[in-house]
Structure 1
Amino acid sequence: MTSKTISVRVVEKRRAALDICLFEFERMDGKVLPSFSAGSHIDVYLPNGLVRQYSLCNDPARTDRYQICVLLDPNTRGGSKAMHELVDFGDELQIGEPRNLFHLASGNHEVVLLAGGIGVTPLMAMAWQLLAQDAKFHLHYFARSAERTAFHDLILRSPLREKVSFWFDNDTTTEKPSVADILRRAAEDSHAYACGPLGFLKYVRDTCEQIQWAHLHYEAFTAAPAEDGDAFAVRIKSTGEMVEIPGNQTVVEALARKGIEIPVSCEQGICGTCLTKICDGIPDHRDQYLSDDERARGDQFTPCCSRSKSSILVLDL
């Protein structure tokens, strides 16, 4: 656990939709929480020892509380199950400070928000921020059904109701537009922001490529599975030991087999727990944690999923 964690209490836990729970946190010491910008996420340290990342979905102008929504994923690796079953009202948790890799771009342009299922969470914060700025925007919310749609009733009761369109898979009475239809109706210099499952994002990205859409920003709600790659070697700076990294193993896995442990949490390149300094070599970044500038420096990487473009990577271990 890092030194920048914050002790919070769960002050609300309620059903937001079928298989979706909403949680609200307040600081244990009663102070205000760190300010955040729309698109930010926090690390949540769970009772079972896991660390998971969840987007903040409340209005960024409000810092007395943080709000997240968690889908009970049928393919959970333990995170969403722990949030639903082990975290209750009144519990104390540790969270990390907000981190944003999914910023709203500056400028006086129209904004199109494209949400796929629970991927709506960072886009809700964007919607609140854009509403406060009196910006021109619209949120298109794609979901399986109304009962599986987080914030459905809240949106209908709020000033956002005129800014949101719901598109349900089980609605046979309304013709659902394609993403191409939606973007073609927007101004040419509009910026689109998409978040959702990998399949939804692929659909959005492929569409933008086909229609030559210029301004797309996106964030995956789940990380892509780690891909195999070419074999390479890791040299441990402190000992000089060389460890071969097969194409079908991560650096973390290969080092663990040699008794060299690197702390991990998410194992998907999202949380940064395993971030390791590089002394020499060229990393092949496959994470969602580092910024473009941090990647360009090439002096650190996430060994849980990232690999090497050079034959040898020297690590500060």
Structure 2
Amino acid sequence: MPQETFTLQIRQIRLETDDVLSFELASPTQNPLPVAPAGAHLELHLPGALQRSYSLLDEGLGGCYRIAVKREPQSRGGSAWLHSQARVGQTLQAQAPRNDFALNEHAPESILIAGGIGITPLLAMARRLNRLGHRWSLHYAAPSPDRMAYRDCLQALAADGHGSLHTYCSSEDRRLDIAAVVRASGPQAHLYCCGPAGLIDDFITATQDRPPERVHYERFAARHAASTEGGYEALLARSGKTVKVSAGRTLLDAILDAGVDIPYACSQGVCGTCRTRVISGTPDHRDECLTEAERQSNEAIIPCCSGALSSTLVLDL
């Protein structure tokens, strides 16, 4: 079933750095907004049939959502449109915030590690931890100080007495040593990381001996290429359709071509919007949002990037 959407109006656009714009989005009719816990992302429907997910900078307090978007040179359309064509007063459709990067609000210590625009969900977490009066430290890496969005805001949050901010800029020859940060954290600490692929890979390596329930990360893009080998069938149990997935197409492409509605956003296996229950068959998992236990159980698939190892998949669609 397609997910219900609601209308948001662009109320403010602000230049945060040379390549980052922030957007304040509110209901044009002043309707209450769905709750957005720290770490959540908002899925926007943009012109050209684009759906994109953006991490929220706060919990939606004050009747508006705030997102920050970096202009990506290799943009697939989302950041390009927002940077070049979005205007104050325009309306967009959105889906209720989802949270695949949830903050543990009972942890005795929270270690936040951000690279570049990966600061967005971690800023929301720092704000929430301050409101709870819990201890946190944030380690923020960027190429240079002028490309470090929200640095002043983070310094103000740290000055409130609950957290500490540590910045690292390659232009100043100050580099983030993730392994050292992890070693210095307490055994009960929860660790969070968001940023480019290399940062996430280093974080995973540094935390491999930590209990998995205390290690949290969110990627911008999948590490693996999408499954487009094809050569299998997907039986859609609820709609009664049989979909043949040919070479060069993703499972999601084939489902949509068959006229079956399925929500999706990132098309890279990162956000989890298109997550679908597997009734039988063996998926070829290529995503970044399922846990290792979920992949081993084969009870769910992310069809925008994953395919099949068996000749047939039976899906709850």
Fold agreement, TM-score > 0.5: yes
Post-superposition offset of 1:195? 0.4
* 8 Å Cα contact 2:226/2:304 also seen in 1: no
Partner of 1:160: 158
Report the Cα distance in structure 1 between the residues aligned to 2:139 and 2:228, rounded to whole angstroms. 37
Report the Cα distance in structure 1 between the residues aligned to 2:292 and 2:105, rounded to whole angstroms. 18
* 8 Å Cα contact 2:220/2:270 also seen in 1: no
Partner of 1:119: 118
Unaligned 5+ segments in structure 2 are none
Post-superposition offset of 1:13? 0.3
Q: What's the CA shift string for 1:26-46, capped at 9, x where partnerless? A: 111102211121110010111
Quick check: 1:304 aligned with 2:307?
A: no
User: Which residue identity lines up with residue 191 of structure 2 in the other structure?
Assistant: A
Residues 117-156 of structure 1: pairs in structure 2 closer than 5 A:
117-156=116-155
Post-superposition offset of 1:304? 1.9
TM-score normalised by the chain length of structure 1: 0.84
Quick check: 1:7 aligned with 2:20?
A: no
Partner of 1:169: 170
Report the Cα distance in structure 1 between the residues aligned to 2:51 and 2:190, rounded to whole angstroms. 32
* 8 Å Cα contact 1:42/1:95 also seen in 2: yes
Quick check: 1:266 aligned with 2:263?
A: no
Residues 186-265 of structure 1: pairs in structure 2 closer than 5 A:
186-209=185-208, 212-214=209-211, 215-228=214-227, 232-236=231-235, 243=244, 245-246=246-247, 249-253=249-253, 260=258, 265=265
Provide the alpha-carbon RMSD of the alignment: 3.0
Report the Cα distance in structure 1 between the residues aligned to 2:243 and 2:56, rounded to whole angstroms. 42
Secondary structure (helix, strand or coil) at the match of 1:96 reads strand
Report the Cα distance in structure 2 between the residues aligned to 1:296 and 1:213, rounded to whole angstroms. 20
* 8 Å Cα contact 2:227/2:306 also seen in 1: no
Report the Cα distance in structure 2 between the residues aligned to 1:278 and 1:159, rounded to whole angstroms. 44
1:54–1:235 CA distance, 2 compared to 1 (3 A): closer
TM-score normalised by the chain length of structure 2: 0.84
Partner of 2:79: 80
Post-superposition offset of 1:223? 3.2
1:132–1:242 CA distance, 2 compared to 1 (3 A): closer
Report the Cα distance in structure 1 between the residues aligned to 2:252 and 2:142, rounded to whole angstroms. 36
Q: Aligned residues, how many?
A: 308
Report the Cα distance in structure 2 between the residues aligned to 1:202 and 1:182, rounded to whole angstroms. 15
Secondary structure (helix, strand or coil) at the match of 1:170 reads helix
User: Which residue identity lines up with residue 135 of structure 1 in the other structure?
Assistant: H
Post-superposition offset of 1:17? 0.9
Deviates more, 1:47-56 or 1:305-314: 305-314
Post-superposition offset of 1:146? 1.2
Post-superposition offset of 1:245? 4.5
Q: What's the CA shift string for 1:158-187, capped at 9, x where partnerless? A: 233462111111013xx4451122122221
Partner of 1:66: 65
Report the Cα distance in structure 1 between the residues aligned to 2:315 and 2:252, rounded to whole angstroms. 12
Report the Cα distance in structure 2 between the residues aligned to 1:146 and 1:201, rounded to whole angstroms. 21
Report the Cα distance in structure 2 between the residues aligned to 1:14 and 1:183, rounded to whole angstroms. 34
Post-superposition offset of 1:118? 0.4
Report the Cα distance in structure 2 between the residues aligned to 1:49 and 1:244, rounded to whole angstroms. 22
Report the Cα distance in structure 2 between the residues aligned to 1:134 and 1:275, rounded to whole angstroms. 35
Unaligned 5+ segments in structure 1 are none
Report the Cα distance in structure 1 between the residues aligned to 2:53 and 2:216, rounded to whole angstroms. 19
